[in-house]
Every structure is written in structure tokens, then in C-alpha cells.
């Protein structure tokens, strides 16, 4: 018997994962920072509203240098996702 065949590990099924999954995935575990969770919240809310038959949108505003540092930077990074979820960020 070939030793390489005998000890071949089982293949573990994997899932394609993207960096946006922390904002968009509704199943499984998502690891993120506190600020990333704050970005995810309005996205998750609009998805939940849609499932319940509501047509809602969101508006996020603030000012640069606010106590919630970097929140605006994270919102800018996902501008396209926000738009897809009808969430407007206006600094």
C-alpha cells in the first residue's frame, strides 16, 4: 500500500469568503471590530425590514473628529454597499 494514499487527509469543504462578508452575511459567525459592527447595523436593519415587507432607508450623519473615531472612514469604504441598502452617509 502506498503510504501517501494511506495518510491523505480528508478534504474539508471550504466557502469562498470576502472581506465584505462581515457586513453582508446573515449566517454563520462574523468577526469584526466594534466600529465595523456599527457599520453593519444599518445594513442588517434594512435587510430585515425588506424581509418583513417594509421599504425603508437610512441616513447617517456626523462630523469629522467626532468621539466615534474612524466610523466615517469605514462608512466611506463601503459606500457602494450602503447605496445598495438605501443608506446615505452625509458627513
Gap between the Cα atoms of 81 and 60, Å rounded? 14
pLDDT tens-place string over residues 32-84: 889 999 999 999 999 999 999 999 999 999 877 777 778 888 999 999 999 99
For the segment 71-84, what is each residue's pLDDT rounded down to a tens digit? 888 999 999 999 99
Contact 84, 46 (CB under 8 A): no
User: Domain segments of the chain: what residues?
Assistant: 32-91
Amino acid at each position: 500500500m502506498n503510504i501517501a494514499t494511506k495518510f491523505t487527509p480528508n478534504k474539508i469543504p471550504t466557502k469562498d469568503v470576502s472581506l465584505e462578508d462581515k457586513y453582508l452575511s446573515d449566517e454563520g459567525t462574523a468577526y469584526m471590530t466594534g466600529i465595523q459592527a456599527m457599520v453593519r447595523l444599518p445594513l442588517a436593519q434594512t435587510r430585515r425590514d425588506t424581509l418583513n415587507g417594509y421599504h425603508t432607508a437610512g441616513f447617517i450623519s456626523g462630523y469629522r473628529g467626532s468621539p466615534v473615531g474612524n466610523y466615517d472612514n469605514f462608512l466611506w469604504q463601503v459606500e457602494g454597499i450602503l447605496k445598495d441598502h438605501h443608506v446615505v452617509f452625509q458627513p
